[in-house]
């Protein structure tokens, strides 16, 4: 299991990616569209990303986007949460 620092970093990256895609994870959780456990699983999936540096660069260069970069392990889930 990843360390606390890694989990925190990837939780921030995933939250920033959600923001760029227009997905409000807190609101989705409150509505019951995503469980806290599923959100934790998304963070764990993010920790297995092979491109966190590219992700940081992408996030820094985008204020909003329709789609996440192809390497984003949670891109389709985040996009689906935006549409709910």
Q: Give the pLDDT of the chain (84 residues) as one tens digit per residue.
A: 789 999 999 999 999 999 999 999 999 999 999 999 999 999 999 999 999 999 999 999 999 999 999 999 999 999 999 976
What are the helix (H) ranges across the chain? Answer: 4-21, 25-31, 36-47, 52-61, 75-83
pLDDT score for 8: 96
């Amino acid at each position: 299991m990843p360390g606390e620092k890694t989990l925190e970093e990837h939780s921030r990256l995933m939250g920033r990616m959600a923001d760029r895609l227009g997905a409000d994870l807190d609101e989705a959780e409150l509505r019951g569209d995503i469980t806290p456990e599923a959100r934790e699983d998304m963070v764990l999936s993010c920790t297995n990303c092979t491109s966190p540096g590219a992700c940081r660069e992408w996030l820094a260069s985008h204020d909003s986007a329709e789609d996440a970069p192809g390497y984003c392990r949670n891109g389709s889930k985040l996009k689906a949460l935006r549409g709910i």
